[in-house]
Structure 1
Amino acid sequence: MTEETAGAAPQAQQPQIKMNILAQYIRDMSFENILAQKGANGDTTPELKVNVALDVKKRTAPNQYEVIMKLNVAANTKEGNQPLFLLELEYGGVFNIEGVPENQLHPFLLIECPRQLFPYVRRIVSDVTRDGSFPPLNLEPIDFVALYMNEQARRAQAQQAEAPAVN
């Protein structure tokens, strides 16, 4: 065995990451066209508020995880803050993931898996808002890394607040 061969062996041993999407589905969806129900006075230029939450569950099958993206889009008029529509969507994906080290699995599930689901969620939101008599809403790309980091910081702050003060 030469030095070159010995040096190359550890790199060849690194596990290969595999991710397969086994299923995608709408778990729950609601669209309320408040403008059509109640009407609006004056300018109906929308101001949007988009909230995203993620949920991950381990499935009973080995290496399988369910990732749910919960999206809430509220549109109100800029003037008067009258509601125009409310869209709530829970979109899920079932993933088979292999080769991800245990200490990297949590961020992988909350960053990479939602990235795979997002184009489908975006299309659904666009279609539903268009079919609801509004211009199609094309969501801006979501920075799932920043979303993950913000949630980790929020949890760390909450744990510090709950920790008893040591005198």
Structure 2
Amino acid sequence: MADQDNGAAPQADEGATSPQMRMQILTQFVRDLSFENVLAQRGTGGEVQPDVQVSVSLDAKKRSVEHQYEVACKVNITSQDKESQDVLFLMEMEYVGVFHVEGVPDDQLHPYLLIECPRQIFPFMRRIVSDVTRDGGFPPLNLESIDFVELYRQEVKRRQAAQPRTADA
């Protein structure tokens, strides 16, 4: 059932102590896309047993406009034959969403941008991967759902491990 406004004036929210969380996708686009059909270039055919490896990395940055953020999802896909280990195809894509985000506390903004925003654009990325692999001569590759919370946690651990340890003096 839809929420009703009940005729409340818009000015009533201006004095609220905590702002309402608001997220809107302003635009999304493919920044970079590469698909290489290695199997066709080699000219070999026959039966293959594909083994597909997918890696995903995320990045977010503030834009010059107030409350606007750019979130980039980079997907690298390698498909190899299970028996011969020959590469069948390679695909790289950087997909970007531009978001208007308001009302998220500063300490929660970074995880929000790298978890919730990619969740919103993932279905579009999945569709592009499926279409490109199909149009490239392979069965459509339907990416499995990505656990962006776990991906974020892994990235935080990786960054913490990469930081040089300073002695407490």
Match of 1:93 in 2: 97
Match of 1:140 in 2: 144
Answering whether residue 116 of structure 2 is matched by residue 112 of structure 1, we say yes
Contact 1:43–1:77 (Cα < 8 Å) also in 2: no
Counterpart Cα distance in 2 of 1:61 and 1:14: 22
Superimposed CA distance per residue, residues 89-144 of structure 1 (whole angstroms, 9 cap, x where no aligned partner): 00001000000000000000000000011000000000000001100000000000
Q: CA deviation at 1:42?
A: 5.8
Counterpart Cα distance in 1 of 2:46 and 2:26: 48
Answering whether residue 68 of structure 2 is matched by residue 64 of structure 1, we say yes
Counterpart Cα distance in 2 of 1:131 and 1:83: 18
Counterpart Cα distance in 2 of 1:158 and 1:109: 22
Q: CA deviation at 1:165?
A: 5.4
Superimposed CA distance per residue, residues 29-63 of structure 1 (whole angstroms, 9 cap, x where no aligned partner): 00000111103466411001101011111100000
Structure 2 residues without counterparts, runs of 5 or longer: 1-15
Match of 2:5 in 1: none
Counterpart Cα distance in 2 of 1:36 and 1:117: 31
Q: TM-score, normalised by structure 1?
A: 0.87
Q: TM-score, normalised by structure 2?
A: 0.86
Q: Give the 3-state SS of the residue equivalent to 2:150 in structure 1.
A: helix
Contact 1:32–1:87 (Cα < 8 Å) also in 2: yes
Contact 1:16–1:99 (Cα < 8 Å) also in 2: yes
Counterpart Cα distance in 2 of 1:103 and 1:36: 49
Overall identity of the aligned pairs, in %: 59
Match of 1:5 in 2: none
Q: Give the 3-state SS of the residue equivalent to 2:143 in structure 1.
A: coil
Counterpart Cα distance in 1 of 2:81 and 2:103: 48
Counterpart Cα distance in 1 of 2:17 and 2:156: 31
Contact 1:69–1:92 (Cα < 8 Å) also in 2: yes
Match of 1:163 in 2: 165
Q: CA deviation at 1:15?
A: 2.5
Structure 1 residues without counterparts, runs of 5 or longer: 1-11
User: Could you say what the CA RMSD is over the residues aligned between the two structures, in angstroms?
Assistant: 1.6
Answering whether residue 122 of structure 2 is matched by residue 123 of structure 1, we say no
Match of 1:26 in 2: 30
Q: Which runs of 4+ in 1 moved over 4 A?
A: 164-167
Contact 2:130–2:142 (Cα < 8 Å) also in 1: yes
Aligned length: 154
Counterpart Cα distance in 2 of 1:147 and 1:118: 14
Q: Give the 3-state SS of the residue equivalent to 1:37 in structure 2.
A: helix
Report the AA paired with residue 103 of structure 1. D
